[in-house]
Structure 1
């Protein structure tokens, strides 16, 4: 029987127990220091309070302090499902407990920067594990439209899995395939990861159209603002392509599940869209965050705060074409400098 360890008991990490267990694997769900109540509930009766389901019987819940025991059996796959802010913490734990080069599949989304350039998280994790443990660990990643609640309900879900070695990707998928979890593969790690992170960023702009409609009201003939919303969505994909190409990825990835697919599903609901609505109503970001979403993690806003200065530096030195990215500049200005989020229709290409 295959052994899979999932580090991170949030909604997406926990939802991944379904295809893993359905395929016959023994699954150990290891919570972080933030998942204590979830792990206690799952260990007690299988109930996951945030997903609203009972996890499969094959799932064993463990606290992060037991990660060493979970990895002692040398599992076939580790699924890394911590938040992007928790990647450093996860690397520390893995360095302390890994006994060999166990493949890692990342469902964590995000990017890293040193202030001058942008790096995808799988590359960071792979480099740090090799540097600190000596193990050349294959690190893969998942992108595409995958809402955790739908996966947990075993609704049909299509994703794209990426890694440098497609044979390793194939072995990982062999542990997860199920009638409702459909995966395609690509070696374009950069393209998939850039899309996975920036879809949250651009969803803010699409969501802002709803706030603008609330502010301005329907037209006398009851017309809405679908034209502007669609134009903003299209512009987001164009600018996402600029980023993917500049960072060394395949522009074709943007038109697939990782780009258009994931942006579409992110725009349907969620915290990024809610923040966009507030900005569309005319609130400055700082007020929208403090007054209306103080306890919410808004991934797209966090990305703007973390990477905005780097993106602007890349524009200044010509690595990115600033004129081709008016939407990116507008979002950064709104989040980083509290300027109004302006959707300048005439500047869209």
Structure 2
């Protein structure tokens, strides 16, 4: 029969995670506030608003009521944008019981507080559930994972048994899940890759070629590793699935919204209109991570350049040229 798994959020990533869990043999309840999305899943086994062309497994059951979705679930996956994680978890908290685990799949910091998502969960969940918190990272372009393309994720938790539960719920014939105790490293890497994907898209938009993009990617990875270590994570996490892996997927995929934002910026297109009509985690990640970096006394030239482009009106080509001329090269 498998386990009961709840997924809160029926966007592209949440639906892809639900698809993975269903194909792993579990009974999945997919919750959303979007009634048309739930109705289409119930009637046609499709979520054309977020994952067009994908037929969902029969074990994915849409739920309009959060209480129904989380009741008896071994694992509750929170797969909503980082800006609403606190609101969703606060709503779910009274419905949860001891023995359930909660895993965050959002990749970002809370804008108002600068907290990582697991820290938000710790504040909102009952005390008896705070050791059963995990985070999910890694290169997971939703439309690829939902179409059964080979995908590797990482589940991080202080308690190895909680991370192992996430693996049990998601691992199937095409999804593998690595385990980690480095919650800080996974979350900071996952957040920064959204920011740095904008820089890689900028290289595409300016038409600067593979050499420049590879150089910028190397600078981004060096900054990511330094930040992770200074915040208490492990350097090797930045070079694993949650860091380098996710940076490559997000920074090179044509389906990445963060990369597309950077590309539009480089081409001189209306990137602000794109930002207004899409959920893009990169810009708030730039602000949040730069605040953390400055508090630690870190000098992160790529992040500073992104901030000047997104929030200070800097011009793309001279900004990138200055970065390439002045930044220390990670030899």
> Under a length normalisation based on structure 1, what TM-score does the superposition of the two structures give?
0.85
135 and 265 in structure 1: CA distance in 2 versus 1, 3 angstrom threshold: closer
288 and 60 in structure 1: CA distance in 2 versus 1, 3 angstrom threshold: closer
- In the alignment, which of 89, 99, 111 is matched to residue 97 of structure 2? 99
98 and 253 in structure 1: CA distance in 2 versus 1, 3 angstrom threshold: same
Structure 1 match to 2:271: 288
Structure 2 match to 1:245: 229
The CA deviation string for residues 235-269 of structure 1, in whole angstroms up to 9 with x for no partner, is: 00001112111211101111111111100010122
Structure 1 match to 2:61: 60
**Contact 1:101 1:137 (C-alpha < 8 Å) held by counterparts:** no
**Contact 2:83 2:111 (C-alpha < 8 Å) held by counterparts:** no
Structure 2 match to 1:297: 279
Give runs of aligned pairs for residues 190-269 of structure 1, distance below 5 A: 190-213=184-207, 225-268=209-252, 269=254
| Runs of 5+ unmatched residues, structure 2 | none
Matched residues in 2 for 1:45 and 1:288: separation? 34
Structure 2 match to 1:13: 14
Residue 137 of structure 1: CA displacement? 5.0
The CA deviation string for residues 197-230 of structure 1, in whole angstroms up to 9 with x for no partner, is: 11110111111112222xxxxxxxxxx5221111
Matched residues in 2 for 1:312 and 1:162: separation? 23
Matched residues in 2 for 1:233 and 1:12: separation? 24
Structure 2 match to 1:220: none
Secondary structure of 2:120's counterpart equals: helix
- In the alignment, which of 283, 308, 321 is matched to residue 333 of structure 1? 308
Q: How many residues align?
A: 319
The CA deviation string for residues 141-198 of structure 1, in whole angstroms up to 9 with x for no partner, is: 1111111111111111011111001122112312322110011111111111111111
Structure 2 match to 1:84: 82
Structure 1 stretches of 4+ with a deviation exceeding 6 A read none
Aligned alpha-carbon RMSD (Å): 2.0
Matched residues in 1 for 2:151 and 2:14: separation? 15
**Contact 1:107 1:142 (C-alpha < 8 Å) held by counterparts:** yes
Residue 113 of structure 1: CA displacement? 5.8
> Under a length normalisation based on structure 2, what TM-score does the superposition of the two structures give?
0.90
Give runs of aligned pairs for residues 128-143 of structure 1, distance below 5 A: 128-130=124-126, 135-136=129-130, 138-143=132-137
**Contact 1:76 1:102 (C-alpha < 8 Å) held by counterparts:** yes
Structure 2 match to 1:276: 262
